Structure 1
Amino acid sequence: MLRIAVVGSGPSGVYTAQALVQQGAVPGVTVDVLDRLPCPYGLVRYGVAPDHEKIKSLQGNLRAAMEHPAITFFGNVPVGDDPRGLPPRRLLELYHAVVYCVGAAADRRLGVPGEDLAGSFSATEFVSWYSAHPDAAPDGFVLGARSAVVIGVGNVAVDVARVLARGAGELHGTDVPHAALSALAASRVTDIHMVGRRGPSQAKFTTKELRELGDLSGAETLVRAQEAALDPAWDDPAGLPAVGRRNVEVLRGWAGRPPGGRPRRIHLRFFLRPAALLGGDDGAVRAVRFERTAPDGRGGVVGTGEFEEVEAQLVLRSVGYRGVPIAGLPFDADLGVVPHAAGRVLREGVPSPGEYVAGWIKRGPTGVIGTNRSCAKETVTSLLADAGALAARRPGPVEDAHAVLRAAGREPVEWPGWLAIEAAEAALGQGLGRGPVKIPDWEGLLSAARSRS
């Protein structure tokens, strides 16, 4: 029998727990899933855009996995250097093995002057706000800007541009917190510039996400044909991988068409890299200075020395994520991951008995939600191959482990507490004439969890 802790309840954590209890190779496996937040599902709850209801419905599959009788959820239990959290060495005293599935929580920075001006935010901050993450800034966003710049051309950049461009009426039926919905309803944004340093064929968004920009009822998507044509594959994308080819075909269909008079415009810009954010006398951002780039013939770009300023009172930076070190675990600062071999944590190049990783903290911020399933399977295969050695370890009784976990959080949230949060969000939405509406703050979440009795 093995008692295993999985740290993190996003897709990688849930898939890891599911693989452990369904594998059948070792009878009697039990899994405790620990999360710093009182709510499970990670980025499916707090990262998927509210208007992507099909992807958000994945929560139903994750719920089914978490309700397996051999899996126990403990929310509001931080791990690492949090003063009320559990260090990795303590977890190894409580469990035969620990699998860390903590994602990549830090944003990459631009590294340009003015990046920290008022009005400049990471895209993650904006996503956290409209997703009701309890760590989001309590004062939220006041969308008084007329022109917004989104730096980056991945799916997250498309999400934030689309949410900015949508009317509040289109988001009324989603779980957007009510304060964010009100702010979006009062938004003065008319122009959204989504900017990439390379060309259309190298953009990181998927075609499905891209096409959604063309389906917005209150916004039109504009592409500068002369600018996009700097891409060598623009005229003939046949040799590109499937996603790149379809992206170019969609963009060519939009290129050069004149504005149609809709209230908002999304400008897709290419071959521009940020050089500086420029501030006004009030210390807030007023524009972004970009340097024009050109293909270098080797898949990259070079600066041309030509510059352009784009007006912006709001800048959202979406240039990638990085893993965050966990106190007590080794960390590769260059790659932003925990060093590992097939999921086994490496300390000074040697596998550390009982310590494993899965998800973005293992492989970096790559892939889609489904990628986490195969990633988890590899780690679980390694763990079960080590089962004999792990079983020889002697952690304390399971009752002691659960007592320690309950004591670690100020108020640990178990599965009935999470179900009470769901019920409270359904009631909140009903009172507002909407479907379920997320509770956006720690106090509200924990209060709802307490109401389970």
Structure 2
Amino acid sequence: MYPARTWLSRSFSNISSHPLRVCVVGSGPAGFYTAEKMLKAHQGAEVDIIDRLLTPFGLVRSGVAPDHPETKIVINQFTRVVQHERCSFFGNVTLGSSISLAELRELYHVVVLAYGAESDRDLGIPGEDLSGIHSAREFVWWYNGHPDGKNLNPDLKSTDTAIILGQGNVALDVARILLRPTTELATTDIASHALAALNQSSIRKVYLVGRRGPVQAACTAKELREVLGIKDLYIHIKEVDLLKSSEDEEVLKNNRIQRRVYELLSKAATSGNSHSSSGQGELHFVFFRKPACFLDSGTGHVAGVHFEKTVLKGVGPGKQVAVGTGKFEDLDCGMVLKSIGYKSVPVDGLPFDHQKGVVPNASGRVLTDALGDQTLLEKGLYVCGWLKRGPTGIIATNLYCAKETVASISQDLEQGTLAAVTSLPKPGREGLLQLLDDRNVRIVPFSGWEKIDSEERRLGSLRNKPREKLTTWEDLLKVGTE
């Protein structure tokens, strides 16, 4: 057993003398920021981070585009967190199968769920199950070397046209990967199977389709500037789509980010050539269209999308929604990527709001039901990140999210709300490791990740890349546990 430690935090001086055992489920930004804040707020707390993957860092590793290395620098900060003497990481531990939520709550005083969103929203329209239609998440996992994305094998050879549904940053990432010269991608940490497929790709034309207009585009100026800056790329935007209503003018006046995005789109619409040249890559921004159904080629493969034209309707101050007009048009393609949002997945024993795709919570405190009654709390159970607020925001958003959740934990400890939970010693890490050992779960500790990291960097150096990712569960487990 770990020796009992003296609390330095004033909030626990009158509660107990045994360590506060905290388990964080999920090792993405939300999980790591939570661990960091807990370690700082409570001297003596022991924090264990578990993840179903064998590798830490969540979407920083498997979501951030390979040509955005500067965004991944935050890994250095997270590494310092897990190297703290009171923090541990255990990979290859799946909540729900390796261990249940009820068991975790027995082992730890505080459990924080931060495992993000690993599924996708559906459109719920005819033809959605045709081959050639993928979620953007699956495609991102595929090119980023996520072990669950290796077998996606998108057919990039049989068509020259892809339609991306959505105009957020993920949609722009996907468009950029499809259209950017592979010579530029070859020096990134893109998965080698993806680079090989992109080298053989026939896709030259990409449509980015949104339900609303350019004023409501959900991307950031930085991402937009990057995709517009791909060399020798023909950009097409209908000038009629850039016409603004008085409501649009109000939005632009009050929102600097939206204003910058609109300005970049306007400039791109007027500064390019009026026609593409032979063999040139094309990026078409299509606004005011919502998918009504997918078109079948006759062989069970997607052949296009049947779109309904939309107009904006005001539903409140500064808020406009797209409504159908009853007018339709088709766009032909051989591949569709749905970038319409990630979705979190519940586990047994966890209250879940299926409509919103989040755990009902008050400032990170898990509520017993989805009706939002803030007097009914799941004591000792908290939530952070996408599971708490939905799949929105950038990496740094999770910093503020974690701050709020940890503040709730601190307040509950201080006010005695958690008194019954924290008055008794809990087995924590020793109990977790014993239980996993009994079940023959092969955990990958942080030292195992360091072996994987070292091997990936070694393989990468042979190809002039920062790393060559190991992309199968077998390879990761072999290197991480040897």
Task: State TM-score, norm by structure 1.
Answer: 0.94
Corresponding residue number in structure 2 for 1:225:
239
For residue 438 of structure 1, what is the aligned residue in structure 2?
469
| Partner residue in 1 for 2:61 | 45
Residue equivalent to 1:4: 22
Q: Does 1:304 align with 2:322?
A: no
- Counterpart in the other structure of 1:178: 192
Q: Is the 8 A contact 1:214 1:220 kept in 2?
A: no
After superposing on structure 2, the runs of 4+ consecutive aligned residues of structure 1 that deviate more than 3 Å are 230-238, 405-409
Partner Cα distance (2:449, 2:95) in 1: 19
1:285 aligns with 2:311: no
Listed one character per residue, the Cα deviations across residues 268-287 of structure 1 (whole Å, up to 9, x for unaligned) are: 11001111110112210111
2:423 equivalent in structure 1: 392
Other-structure match for 1:19: 37
Q: State the secondary structure of the residue aligned to 2:382.
A: strand
CA distance in 1, matches of 2:147, 2:242: 40
Alpha carbons 1:152, 1:196 under 8 Å: kept: yes
Report matched runs for 1:298-337 at 5 Å: 298=315, 299-337=320-358
Q: Are residues 1:421 and 2:437 paired?
A: no
Distance 1:409 1:248 in 2: 55
Decide whether the 8 Å contact of 2:366 with 2:382 is kept in 1: yes
Q: Structure 1 pair 356/238, CA: closer, same or farther in 2 (3 Å)? A: closer
**Could you give the per-residue CA deviations for residues 74-112 of structure 1, whole angstroms, max 9, x where no partner exists?**
0000112x2xx2111101121111110011222111111
* Match runs of 1:29-428 below 5 Å: 29-80=45-96, 82=97, 85-138=98-151, 140-144=153-157, 145-229=159-243, 238-256=252-270, 257=272, 258-261=274-277, 263-298=280-315, 299-348=320-369, 349=373, 350-387=376-413, 389=419, 390-396=421-427, 398-408=429-439, 410-428=441-459
Structure 1 residues not aligned, in runs of 5+: none
How far residue 233 of structure 1 moved from its aligned partner, in angstroms, is 6.5
Deviations 1:228-263 (A, max 9, x none): 326657789752411111111111111154135362
The offset of 1:380, in angstroms, is 1.1
Distance 2:146 2:246 in 1: 41
1:194, CA displacement in angstroms? 0.3
Q: CA RMSD in A?
A: 1.9
| SS in structure 2 at match of 1:309 | strand
Task: Give distance in 1, aligned partners of 2:431 and 2:252.
Answer: 62
One-letter amino acid of the structure 2 residue matched with residue 122 of structure 1? S
Could you say if the C-alpha distance between residues 435 and 371 of structure 1 is closer, same or farther in structure 2, counting changes exceeding 3 Å?
closer
* Separation (CA, whole Å) in 2 of partners of 1:111 and 1:224: 29
Identify if the C-alpha distance between structure 1 residues 214 and 364 changes in structure 2 by more than 3 Å, giving closer, same or farther: same
Query: Identity rate of aligned residues, in percent?
Result: 41
Q: Deviations over 1:31-75 (max 9, x none)?
A: 010000000000111111111111122211221222111110000
Q: Is the 8 A contact 2:22 2:428 kept in 1?
A: no
Q: Which amino acid aligns with 2:366?
A: V
Question: How far does residue 416 in structure 1 lie from its aligned partner after superposition?
Answer: 0.7
Corresponding residue to 1:28 among 11, 35, 44: 44
Conservation of the 8 A alpha-carbon contact between 1:151 and 1:195: yes
Aligned letter for 1:264?
Answer: G
Give the Å deviation of 1:385: 2.5
The alpha-carbon distance between structure 1 residues 397 and 54, as it changes in their structure 2 partners (threshold 3 A), is closer
* Corresponding residue number in structure 1 for 2:16: none
Alpha carbons 2:117, 2:387 under 8 Å: kept: yes
CA contact (8 A) 2:132 2:155 kept: no
Displacement of 1:393 in angstroms is: 3.3
Relative distance call for 1:230 and 1:294 in structure 2 (3 A) is farther
**What SS does the corresponding residue of 1:273 show, helix, strand or coil?**
strand
Tell me which moved more, 236-245 or 121-130: 236-245
1:109/1:139 Cα in 2 relative to 1: closer, same or farther (>3 Å)? closer
For structure 2, the residue ranges without an aligned partner over 5 or more in a row are 1-18
SS of the equivalent of 2:48 reads strand
Distance change in 2, residues 1:99/1:177 (3 Å): same
